[in-house]
Amino acid sequence: MDKYLTLIVTSLIMGTLARVLMMKVDYRQYPTYPQAYLSHFTLGIIASALGAVALPSIIEKEFVAVTFLALAAQQFRDVRNMERQSLDNIEVTELVPRGTAYIEDIAKAFEARNYIAILTSLISSIGVYFGVHFKFHWITQILLGVIFGTALYLALSNMLKGRAIEDIAHVKAAKITFDGPLLTVAGVPVMNIGLKDSRKIFLESGIAVEIIPKNPYAVTILANIGQRQSIQHNAATQLGIRKDLDEPDFTPIARRNPENGNVVMALITMKSDTDSLVEVVKRSPVLESAKRKPVDAFVTRNRG
């Protein structure tokens, strides 16, 4: 395979770079650094290597080597299971849990990123081979591989880029009031606060938002319990929460108004900043598992 050395090395580097560019530590602190970084970096190299050798194997009619791609697919499904299990294990340590839907989305994202590494590497190898076929200079061959791989990486990254709450709903500050012991936000009952001291804290330091869907699709998405749980978790994680174990009064809860589909949420953060809460909610991701298009359904169309 010496004649494919340039092709394999270029493809391997491009696939690995694609995986590295998709690794970042944000407010979720996941993947952790450096242990999880090392694990995902190593898997990225393996994925890139598989993509890099696929084309030479086909050209040389070494079809047995291509079957390793099927084994890789199984391995990366195991990556999803590994990430899911890891997040499930630490879920009990969260004051405000992520929720199973959020965990599943994170796990699927890690699996998909390895497939992007494979495809970037494979398309890069096609670009290099294109240059070899037309007997271009070796530098031009590498440039073609880089261009092909970069174009695919950008296209897939853009395609897989998730939507945020601000894309489907308007988010605005809301006022916390009490109807007896019942905490309400924008007229929507949220929870029963029995302790007077807790009610006083909510009135003095509590902040709240109202999420208003832009269309019928958004109404269905925000009705999903997993979607609302992820919003609660993001808000508590990024703003900090005035809560410890066995303090249910201060647990953020997102409630839905059954009349119009609006969602309200109240919480007490370490520093009361309503503008920051609005921004955090806007940037919360829309979960894949929460996406629905009910008005596109055949039965719904017929009724219309």
Domain that holds residue 58: 2-160
- As a whole number of angstroms, the distance between CA 211 and CA 227 comes to 12
Q: Please say if the pLDDT value at position 90 is more than 80.
A: yes
At CA 164, angle to CA 160 and CA 169, rounded to 5?
140
- Do residue 131 and residue 234 come from a single domain? no
pLDDT over threshold 80, residue 115: yes
Final residue belonging to a domain, choices 107, 138, 160: 160
Helix (H) or strand (E) holding 189, with range, is strand 188-192
Would residue 232 count as lying in a domain? yes
Res. 221: pLDDT tops 80? yes
User: Model confidence over 153-201: pLDDT tens digits?
Assistant: 999 988 888 889 999 999 999 999 998 899 999 889 999 998 888 899 8
Q: Is the dihedral of CA 138, 142, 143, 148 positive or negative?
A: positive
- pLDDT value of position 302: 52
Other CB atoms within a 10 A radius of the CB of residue 300 amount to: 12
Q: Say whether both 61 and 8 belong to one domain.
A: yes
Q: Is 255 within 8 Å of 265 (Cβ atoms)?
A: yes
Q: Judge if 107 and 170 occupy the same domain.
A: no
Work out the end-to-end distance of the chain between its first and last CA atoms, rounded to an integer number of angstroms.
Answer: 62
User: What does the alpha-carbon distance between residue 190 and residue 251 come to, in Å, rounded to a whole number?
Assistant: 11
Co-location of 152 and 275 in the same domain = no
Pair (129, 42) in one structural domain: yes
Count of the separate structural domains present in the chain: 2
* Distance between CA atoms of residues 11 and 101, nearest Å: 35
pLDDT at 10: 94
Q: Does 11 fall in a domain?
A: yes
**Is the model's pLDDT at 304 over the cut of 60?**
no
Provide the pairing of β-strand 176-179 with 188-192. Answer: unpaired
pLDDT tens for each residue of 72-84: 777 777 778 888 8
Strands 263-267 and 207-213: antiparallel
Q: Is the Cβ–Cβ distance between 207 and 190 less than 8 Å?
A: no
Statement: residue 2 has pLDDT above 80: no
Give the residue from 106, 140, 160 where a domain finishes.
Answer: 160
pTM strictly above 0.75: yes
